[in-house]
Amino acid sequence: MQRTEDARETMVLVVIVGGGILVGLLAGTLLALIFASLSVGVALNAYLLASVALRAGKAERLWLAALGALPAGAYDSAKIFAIGAVTWWGAAHLAGGGGALAPGLLVVHLGLLVVAFLIVLNGFLQGRLKAYFDAGLGGAWVVLLIIVFMIYGWETGLAALALSVLYAILARPVARLTATWLLTHPPV
C-alpha cells in the first residue's frame, strides 16, 4: 500500500510541476494563466477523488467527488499558478533579453539544484551531525542566492529564489528514495 501512495504522490507532483511549466509556457495573458492553473488543479483533484470512489465500489458518489474537486483543487491550483507564473515571467524575460542564459547563471542554478537536493536528503537522514550539515547547506544556499542577486540583479535573484524552492520540491521523491537506500545499506 505504501508503494501505491508513493506512486500517487509522485504522479501528483509531476502533474503539478509539469502542468505549471506547460501552463506558464502556453498562457498568453495573466488571466489565461489563472484560468488554466485552476482548470488543471480541479481536473487533477477530480481524477483523484473519482478514483477513490470507484476503488471503494461507490460509483454513486461520483457526483460528490466532482463537487469536492473545486475546493480540493484550489490548493493545487495555487501551486500550479506559482510555477506557471515563474515560467511565464522567465519566458517573457528571456524573450526580451535575446533568449540566452549566461553560462555562469546556469552553473549557479546547477549549484542551487544540488544544494536543494542535499538539504531535502538531509531531512530524511538521521545522525548527530545532521544539524551541522543543515547549517552548512543552508549557508551554501544563501551564498549562491547572494551571488545571483549581486551579479545578475534583483529580478533574476527573485527568480532564482523561487526556482530553488521548486528544485527542492522536485528533489523530494528522489531524496526519499536515496535516503531509504542509504539507511538500508549502511557503509561497510
Amino acid 102: pLDDT: 66
Mean pLDDT for all residues in the chain: 81
Residues 63 and 112 both lie in one domain: no
Q: Mean pLDDT across the stretch 102-130?
A: 85
Amino acid 156: pLDDT: 81
Residues 107 and 87 both lie in one domain: no
Q: Mean pLDDT across the stretch 43-56?
A: 82
Residues 56 and 105 both lie in one domain: no
Residues 88 and 153 both lie in one domain: no
Rounding to the nearest 10 degrees, give the CA dihedral for residues 9, 11, 12, 14.
120
Amino acid 118: pLDDT: 92
Cβ contacts of 100 within 8 Å, gap of 6 or more: 94
Q: Pick the last residue of a domain from 100, 128, 159.
A: 100
Amino acid 99: pLDDT: 45
Q: Mean pLDDT across the stretch 40-44?
A: 88
Residues 94 and 106 both lie in one domain: no
Query: Is pTM, for the whole model, over 0.85?
Result: no
- Tens digit of pLDDT for each residue in 155-167? 888 888 888 888 8
Element (H, E) at 64: helix 62-96
Q: Percent of the chain scored above 70 by pLDDT?
A: 88
User: Which domain covers residue 125, as residue numbers?
Assistant: 101-188
| Domains: count for the chain | 2
Q: Pick the last residue of a domain from 73, 100, 127.
A: 100
Amino acid 111: pLDDT: 87
Q: Pick the last residue of a domain from 62, 78, 100.
A: 100
Residues 77 and 135 both lie in one domain: no
Q: Mean pLDDT across the stretch 17-22?
A: 80
